[in-house]
Amino acid sequence: MDQQELRQWEAKCTQEEPPKCRAGCPVNVDARAFVLAMAQGDLDAGRAILEKSMPLAQITARLCEAPCENFCLRKDLGGAIAIGRLEHLCIAETTNKSRTLRLPARPKTVAILGSAPSSLTVAYDLAKKGYPINLYHLGDKPGAWLRDEQNPNLPVTALDQELDRLTTLRVNFHAVPALDLELTAKISGDALFLGQDDDLAPDLVAVLGQVDVETMALDRPHWFTGGLPDREYHYISAVSQGREAAVSIDRYLQNASLTASRIPLRNGHTTLYTETKDIAPLPRLTPADSKGFTREEAQAEAGRCLDCQCLECVKHCVYLAENGAYPKVYARRIFNNLAIVQGMRQANTFINSCSLCGQCEVICPFDFSMAEMCLNARQTMIKDKRMPPSAHWFALEEMRSAGGEQEAFIAHAPGQEQSKVLFFPGCQLAGIRPPQTLALYDELCQLESATGLWLDCCGAPAHWSGQNQDFEQWLGRLETLWKELGEPPVVTACSSCLAMFREHLPQFKASSVWTKVGAQKGKPLDQSLALSDPCTARHDQETRTAVRGLLQDLGQSLADLPMSGELTECCGYGGLMENANPELARKVVQARVEQSESPFLTYCAMCRDQLAKTGKPVMHILDLLFPDLARDPKENPVGISQRRQNRRHLKNQVLARYGQKEMPPAPWADIVLDITPEVRTLLDERRILDDDVRQVLYAAHQGTAQRFQHPDGRRMASARIGQVTFWIEYREQGTGLEILCAWSHRMDLVGGQS
């Protein structure tokens, strides 16, 4: 990811865009933050927010016509938030607790004609930047029509306090008899501002000419204006034009372009998306006293604020929520992580923890895909040899095992010389539900006798982990085997396999088994089930529809489950989340099962076992289609060691059907292990297989591995198998070995001389 790509990613996430109320404010007051502070009853915080952006807040907060309210999303849900009334109360009930700071003095001066709102705003904004200001006004005191205004909302004391603040900022006030053309010839200044919301003399108005409404610059060099007669709002438009003029004057005096990279007024435009469809209307509060809100009324009215945010993806994704930010921030985090040449890459776990499920892209109104961004990051880091292999190594070993000699199998149906269809159940169904896998295959053979069988892995772990080279090699192997069998269409029971084949091996013409089989042998339950679609079926409407059709034919009732179908949520296994971040995966699956009180149903074997880890009753659709082989919905998930044993046993069953010999067992396969449930859980968490334990113990008893013995009878054996070193603590017990604990690491311990 380079800088340009980063900007493209950032542009898709609009969370940092302003809410409509702020976008509709001519002076960019953070109205959302202000209203939320008022909702908390924190008027001092509200005052601080106003003072940050609002020029001459004691005047502006009282006289602003509140155009922001026209853009408030509450407008059609009970009425816009009364932001103007809230500002009035806040400014009246509080005092400014911070000192207005002035930058060091600058050498160039500014002359201002007029003391109405536009002129006072220019004086305020430029004086803070250190410019010496000379302001020329009519009458004894500055303020123009503000001082003559018969408006109870603006006490004269408030006006005078703001004028005193300008004096503190070193604004020099000069009373003059007329604001005319002659005056412009007498005064000096490197820039001149003329406030048209004051009483400019006709001869001066006559020479003003055209104004650039974007920059408020006049045709005459160094002349600027504001407070135009045709402004939309009497007060706040004049202030806004004064602020734009101040920006232009500052640029002009620094010999900078008046327009380059200038941020235009939004006039309410923003791309921030806020979902309102489920928000109930709540009427606007009318104050008991026509003079305005009490503090209590103001807090209640502010409490109606929707706190406009997008965060749609974060609301529904535990992964995004747990990392405390939103996609635009995550894009920067990933960019910074990829840019590191040496040192700690703090975002590695974050990058590897995404389930790549794609829900965020579907939810996001601008199609931001964390899946694509994280997968690209993984691929880049693998290519550059910057990704530690530990996060995904076990999943890759499982993939190789499922596609290895002990577990993989491909052949035509017994007695057939060709295959019109090739059934690819997927390694997880074969490892978790082997009897049902065979039953499903038999069902397909009844529909089409020339149905071949292919036990293997689709290579998803290599793809998910970003191992492009390994994945391409795996796909090449699969394609070669498929061609050797005559290139029949592939039918799979796994949504992940189906997604992999459709995207990367379209020549397989893959389809889902759930679009082929019927429900004739099935039996429904007498209670509703919450159907959880696998996330890899998100864009596979055909399969999702077929599954629901099967259940309808079966007469199985379904309970409502939020975020189903195209919006479905991951079980915590996809993208190898569980391998990289087991704790996060537990939170993900727990959040999923809490969405319904009903037992769950799924048509993905891994989803079934992942969901069942929470203790929730979970059924696989095969439990309904083949009730004679149904498993207990409360059955514990199949452990990682048992999955490998199941796949091997399934292959041997298939070989027996073909009249072939079973695969010879490994020399260590007959070692009997006694493993308590607690130790079994520990082994699964540490990704240590029974096969690993047996190999280490076999090597120890053969004298090819380290072995230690404690006086109390405990023993320790250690051996390196492949890239992993294992340590096994055990005790001999009868005809077997009691496993007490186990550890593993991938470090290479290199010795040296001092």
- Give the Cα separation of 370 and 349 in Å (integer): 14
Q: Which of 191, 176, 186, 184 is nearest to 206 (CA)?
A: 184
> For 53-104, how does the pLDDT look when each residue is reduced to its tens digit (9 = 90+)?
999 999 999 999 999 999 999 999 999 999 999 999 999 999 988 888 999 9
Per the structure block, which two tokens stand in for 229? 């007669």
In the chain, % of residues over pLDDT 90: 86
Long-range contacts of the stretch 347-352 (C-beta < 8 A, 24+): 348/381, 348/387, 348/388, 348/391, 349/391, 349/580, 349/581, 350/323, 351/377, 351/378, 351/381, 352/378, 352/391, 352/392, 352/576, 352/580, 352/581
- Give the Cα separation of 577 and 356 in Å (integer): 9
More confident residue, 193 or 710: 193
User: Edge to edge, what strands does the sheet with 211-212 contain?
Assistant: 171-175, 133-137, 110-113, 191-195, 223-226, 217-218, 211-212
User: What pTM was computed for the model?
Assistant: 0.86
> For 194-243, how does the pLDDT look when each residue is reduced to its tens digit (9 = 90+)?
999 999 999 999 999 999 999 999 999 999 999 999 999 999 999 999 99
Q: How confident is the model at residue 706 (pLDDT cuts 50, 70, 90)?
A: confident
Helix (H, G, I), strand (E, B) or coil at 99: coil
C-alpha distances in angstroms, 632 versus 34, 89, 599, 612? 55, 64, 12, 11
> For 118-157, how does the pLDDT look when each residue is reduced to its tens digit (9 = 90+)?
999 999 999 999 999 999 999 999 999 998 865 678 999 9
Asked if pLDDT for residue 600 goes beyond 70, the answer is yes
Q: Compute the average pLDDT of residues 465-469.
A: 95
- Tally Cβ neighbours within 10 Å of residue 135: 24
Asked if pLDDT for residue 342 goes beyond 70, the answer is no
Q: What angle do CA 179, 185, 191 make, to 5 degrees?
A: 85
> What was the pLDDT predicted at 750?
58
Asked if pLDDT for residue 293 goes beyond 70, the answer is yes
Asked if pLDDT for residue 753 goes beyond 70, the answer is no
Asked if pLDDT for residue 751 goes beyond 60, the answer is no
Q: How confident is the model at residue 341 (pLDDT cuts 50, 70, 90)?
A: low
For residue 19, the Cα-to-chain-centroid distance in whole angstroms is 19
Q: Compute the average pLDDT of residues 321-342.
A: 87
Q: How confident is the model at residue 749 (pLDDT cuts 50, 70, 90)?
A: low
User: Edge to edge, what strands does the sheet with 715-721 contain?
Assistant: 673-674, 736-745, 724-733, 715-721, 706-709
Q: How confident is the model at residue 734 (pLDDT cuts 50, 70, 90)?
A: confident
Residue appearing with tokens 């004298």? 703
Q: Compute the average pLDDT of residues 532-545.
A: 97
Q: How confident is the model at residue 22 (pLDDT cuts 50, 70, 90)?
A: very high
- Give the Cα separation of 224 and 244 in Å (integer): 10
Q: How confident is the model at residue 346 (pLDDT cuts 50, 70, 90)?
A: confident
- Give the Cα separation of 167 and 175 in Å (integer): 14
Between strands 110-113 and 191-195, the pairing is parallel
Q: Compute the average pLDDT of residues 643-658.
A: 94
Residue appearing with tokens 């159907």? 531
Q: How confident is the model at residue 754 (pLDDT cuts 50, 70, 90)?
A: very low
In whole numbers, what is the pLDDT of the chain averaged over residues?
A: 94
> What was the pLDDT predicted at 290?
87
C-alpha distances in angstroms, 710 versus 248, 331, 376, 694? 83, 53, 50, 20
